[in-house]
Amino acid sequence: MKRRVVITGLGCVTPVGNDVGSTWQALLDGKSGGAPITHFDATNHKVRFAAEVKGFDPALYMDRKEVKRSDVYTQYAMAAAVQAMTDAGFGDGQGYDPLRTGVVIASGIGGINTFEHQHSVLLESGPGRISAFFIPMFISDIASGVVSMRFGAKGPNFCTVSACASSGHGIGLSFRAVQYGDADVMIAGGAEASVTALSMAGFANMQALSTRNDDPARASRPFDATRDGFVLGEGSGVVILEELEHARRRDARIYGEIAGFGMTGDAYHLTGQPENHEGLQRAMRRALEDGGLSPAELHYVNAHGTSTPMNDVNEIRAIRAVLGAHASGVNVSSTKSATGHMLGAAGAVETIVTTLAIQHGTVPPTINLQSPDPECDLDCTANEPVKRTVSAALNNSSGFGGHNTSLALVRFRD
Kindly list the catalytic residues. Answer: 164, 304, 341
* Strands 392-399, 300-302: pairing kind: parallel
Cα separation, 208 vs 205, in Å, equals: 8
CA nearest neighbour of 167 among 268, 49, 297, 80: 80
Q: What are phi and psi of 388, to 5 degrees?
A: -165, 160
- Is residue 405 within 8 A of residue 261, CB to CB? The reply is yes
In 208-234, which positions are buried (b, 16+ CB within 10 angstroms) versus exposed (e)? bbbebeeebbbbbbbbbeebebbbbbb
Cα separation, 381 vs 278, in Å, equals: 24
Helix-, strand-, coil-residue percentages of the chain, each rounded to 5: 40, 20, 40
Chain-centroid distance, C-alpha 113: 19
Alpha-helical runs (H) found in 69-141? 72-87, 112-125, 134-138
The Cβ-side half-sphere exposure at 373, using a 13 Å CA radius, reads 24
* DSSP for residue 364: P
DSSP-assigned beta bridge partners for residue 383: none
The identity of residue 307, as a single letter, is S
- Is residue 257 within 8 A of residue 239, CB to CB? The reply is no
Chain-centroid distance, C-alpha 285: 21
Alpha-helical runs (H) found in 152-260? 166-179, 197-205, 244-249
Chain-centroid distance, C-alpha 13: 11
